[in-house]
């Protein structure tokens, strides 16, 4: 839990570390996720490298409020993020998006191109692709500790990163009042529709001129590596970095190299 600010009447939890060029870190969409769970190995390090790291919990995730009647949509998430940037008083910034967060980063850059300095897309959604077993498992999560352990094993290539304690911690986070109810409402079956709803038109993605770093784990079982290759083809100012022996948790499994890549790219 970090700081709290009201955005459109929604109590929004966020972390704000460091000074310097502002960078938004947008988390993924797994059950029990939060900004801190996603970025805990990254934003303290990058804050020391001269960046102001802002990491909010998006609507329906983490410790940010979620009204019971809220209808989740990309438009709603973009507007919530726009409200957050306005409240923080930042007018131009970079965005780092993980998975679902990559889709949000793309949609935001399309809608507010003048605000976005650079993009980093990691294991990104945001284009159409066939539903994977791993993503179906994540979005269709049935909350038990055993199921959480199974899901985390899918997320990580390195089995040593996953433990029963981690599964129990993520399960407890997912079982806080209202969390699973909100999560279940985001990506109901048929889940291919959820992928489509998060996707931006390819011709609009191709119009993004911000320098973009595309990062992906080659062994990702949740979001296919072909997504990274397609985004690299579409984005006119893109660089592509693939990690071997890495799943969907690039920022955790390859934290040291990931942090170095971001620090160099965002400061350059």
Mean pLDDT of 179-199: 93
pLDDT of residue 69: 74
From residue 169, how far is each of 90, 150, 152, 163, 258 by CA, in Å?
Answer: 33, 14, 12, 10, 24
Residue 20 — very low, low, confident or very high, per pLDDT cuts 50/70/90?
very high
Contacts of 215 (CB under 8 A, 6+ apart): 120, 121, 122, 123, 228, 241, 242, 243, 250, 258, 261
Q: Answer whether residue 102 shows pLDDT above 70.
A: yes
From residue 212, how far is each of 1, 148, 231, 238, 266 by CA, in Å?
Answer: 30, 32, 10, 5, 10
Mean pLDDT of 92-119: 98
Q: Percentage of the chain surpassing pLDDT 70? A: 100
Of 29, 34, 94, 220, which one is the catalytic site residue? 220
Catalytic residue status for 99: yes
Whether 11 and 1 have beta carbons less than 8 Å apart is answered as no
The per-residue pLDDT for range 201-225, each reduced to its tens digit, is: 999 999 999 999 999 999 999 999 9
Catalytic residue status for 27: no
Average pLDDT value for the chain: 95
Of 27, 141, 241, 248, which one is the catalytic site residue? 248
The whole-model pTM stands at 0.96
Q: Answer whether residue 108 shows pLDDT above 80.
A: yes
Q: Is the peptide bond before 177 cis (omega within 30 degrees of 0)?
A: no
Q: Out of 18-22, 157-161, 236-240, which region has the weakest mean confidence (pLDDT)?
A: 157-161
Q: Out of 40-49, 112-121, 151-160, which region has the weakest mean confidence (pLDDT)?
A: 151-160
CA distance 217 to 197: 24
Mean pLDDT of 9-30: 96
Of 99, 141, 200, 241, which one is the catalytic site residue? 99
pLDDT of residue 2: 95
Q: Answer whether residue 268 shows pLDDT above 70.
A: no
Mean pLDDT of 226-239: 98
Mean pLDDT of 166-187: 88
Catalytic residue status for 248: yes
The per-residue pLDDT for range 49-100, each reduced to its tens digit, is: 999 999 999 999 999 988 777 789 999 999 999 999 999 999 999 999 999 9
Q: Answer whether residue 48 shows pLDDT above 90.
A: yes
């Amino acid at each position: 839990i970090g700081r709290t600010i009201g955005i459109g009447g929604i109590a929004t939890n966020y972390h704000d570390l460091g000074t310097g060029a502002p960078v938004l870190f947008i988390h993924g969409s797994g059950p029990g996720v939060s900004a801190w769970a996603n970025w805990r190995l990254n934003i303290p390090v990058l804050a020391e490298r001269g960046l102001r790291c802002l990491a909010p919990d998006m609507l329906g995730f983490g410790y940010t409020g979620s009204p019971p009647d809220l209808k989740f949509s990309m438009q709603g998430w973009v507007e919530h993020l726009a409200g957050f940037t306005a409240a923080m008083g930042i007018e131009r910034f970079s965005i780092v998006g993980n998975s679902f967060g990559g889709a949000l980063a793309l949609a935001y850059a399309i809608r507010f191109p003048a605000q976005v300095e650079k993009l980093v897309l990691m294991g990104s959604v945001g284009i159409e692709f066939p539903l994977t077993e791993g993503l179906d498992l994540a979005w269709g999560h049935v909350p038990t500790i055993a199921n959480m352990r199974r899901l985390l094993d899918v997320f990580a290539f390195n089995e040593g990163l996953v433990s029963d304690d981690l599964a129990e911690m993520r399960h407890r986070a997912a079982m806080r009042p209202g969390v699973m109810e909100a999560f279940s409402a985001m990506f109901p079956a048929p889940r291919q529709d959820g992928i489509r709803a998060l996707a931006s038109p390819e011709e609009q993605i191709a119009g993004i001129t911000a320098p973009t770093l595309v990062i992906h784990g080659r062994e990702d079982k949740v979001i296919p590596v072909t997504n990274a290759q397609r985004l690299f083809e579409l984005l006119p100012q893109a660089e592509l970095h693939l990690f071997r022996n890495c799943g969907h948790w690039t920022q955790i499994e390859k934290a040291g190299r990931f942090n170095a890549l971001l620090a160099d790219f965002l400061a350059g």
